[in-house]
Structure 1
Amino acid sequence: MTETVRAPRPVAGNLVPAEARGVQLLDGLLVGLGGRHVLLPQAHSSPPGGRDRRIASGPRQKGWGMGKYNVRPDIDAAAEKAGPAIGSRREIENLPSVLWAGEQVDMLASGIYGGGNGLVALTNMRLVFFRHGMMSQKLEDFPLINVSSVQWSAGILMGTLSVFSSGNRADIKSVAKAPGEALSGRLRMLLATANTQVAPPAWGGMPAGAQDVASRLATLDQLRVAGAITDTEYQEHRTAILNSI
């Protein structure tokens, strides 16, 4: 059993060397190193009544809180909306380096894709999966213009976000349920808005397929104006859309 005793108050000319007791002085508190703790009064004067003051030790305060990143306003707001489910601090701090000019982050979540955990970011232009490791990075993006549909399936705590893009399916797994549901719902809304941006002509004689092509071309034009895609990418996507008629 560890014994704790209070040593006599040292007086001038009769100081007891700390080394002799095998102790370490920490601001007036001597902690024994050999199973015997010796508490000496602090160098400060004692308050009336002879009671010595002690340094109170409490829980260590964290200097960084979940959802408080100070990266840029849109990213900070998205991280705060996602709440404690977000744990991809490194990815969030480096996210601006992979965003396009004029791209704004709407929602964030974390998930597993391609064998690694990373950040899922929904912007006004695309869905991005970003993993920023110590030795390598992984970036997979799905421009909204190429996304045909999205599916969300969830268990009690986690779910899978399935994205159907350019004839392929990508499954982002282990997404926390609340942010995953919110992100998938928002993505569906963006896709629906993109498909209805162009109003049908006044005569109403355009077939449904032609309306879809016109909407996709209009979205493509907007991405080009915003600088989200290069002229080469614009021509490639435009040719692919026209060839699909």
Structure 2
Amino acid sequence: MNKKEIKALPEILWQDEVVKKACSGTYKLDIGLLVATNKRVIFISKTLFSLKVEDFAYDKITSIEYSTGMIFGDIVIYAAGNKAEIEDIVKHDAKDMAEFIRAFISNNSENEFDLTKEIEKLAKLKEQGVINDDEFAQMKAKLIAKM
């Protein structure tokens, strides 16, 4: 089950991207693998003649919902004005995956790096005389390099 998609993962994953959770499902009539990584959510479908990959950046996901039946469940991902419905997921996997994605988004949005706010904090320290012009410039350069 999903061996073709799992074999294709190394060529799809970005550098430093780590798989956190995965489950089987159907998206746009293609059977494949739904993968949550530390960077994004990816749906992969591989056949003998084609490879289809669709990804959803965590910062573009506005909402996620799931539903379960007796055996199978569905996940709906709302991202950048689009609605992606992944169906036919094993019941407990649908809930686990949706809750994982929801928690990951929540945790990362709370810790999101805001360059403007950080530079404003530095400017305030400079105004208060806590740091000088050179220190301000060095710290600002380090913040920009983080981006």
- TM-score surpassing 0.5? yes
Q: 1:196 to 1:152 in 2, by over 3 A?
A: same
Structure with the bigger RCO (C-alpha within 8 Å, sep 6+) is: 2
More strand by share: 2
User: Once the 2 structures are TM-superposed, how far is the Cα of residue 199 of structure 1 from its aligned partner?
Assistant: 8.9
User: Once the 2 structures are TM-superposed, how far is the Cα of residue 105 of structure 1 from its aligned partner?
Assistant: 0.1
User: Once the 2 structures are TM-superposed, how far is the Cα of residue 134 of structure 1 from its aligned partner?
Assistant: 0.2
More helix by share: 2
Note if 1:91 corresponds to 2:2.
Answer: no
User: Once the 2 structures are TM-superposed, how far is the Cα of residue 96 of structure 1 from its aligned partner?
Assistant: 1.1
User: Once the 2 structures are TM-superposed, how far is the Cα of residue 160 of structure 1 from its aligned partner?
Assistant: 0.8
Question: How do 1:74-89 and structure 2 match up within 5 A?
Answer: 87-89=1-3
Question: How do 1:8-27 and structure 2 match up within 5 A?
Answer: none
SS of 2:15's partner is: coil
State the distance in 1 between where 2:7 and 2:22 align.
Answer: 13
- Deviations along 1:195-234, one digit per CA (max 9) or x if unpaired, are 2115998xxxxxxxxxxxxxxxxxxx9xx86xxxxxxxxx
Q: Which residue in 2 is equivalent to 1:193?
A: 107
Q: Which residue in 2 is equivalent to 1:148?
A: 62
| TM-score (normalizing by structure 1) | 0.46
Matched to 1:141, the amino acid is D
Gaps in structure 1 of 5+ consecutive residues? 1-86, 202-220, 226-245
- Deviations along 1:37-93, one digit per CA (max 9) or x if unpaired, are xxxxxxxxxxxxxxxxxxxxxxxxxxxxxxxxxxxxxxxxxxxxxxxxxx2111111
| TM-score (normalizing by structure 2) | 0.75
2:86 pairs with one of 172, 185, 192: 172
Gaps in structure 2 of 5+ consecutive residues? 118-142
Structure with the greater alpha carbon radius of gyration: 1
User: RMSD between aligned alpha carbons?
Assistant: 2.1
State the distance in 1 between where 2:112 and 2:53 align.
Answer: 31
State the distance in 2 between where 1:88 and 1:138 align.
Answer: 13
User: Once the 2 structures are TM-superposed, how far is the Cα of residue 123 of structure 1 from its aligned partner?
Assistant: 0.3
Determine what percentage of the aligned residue pairs are the same residue.
27
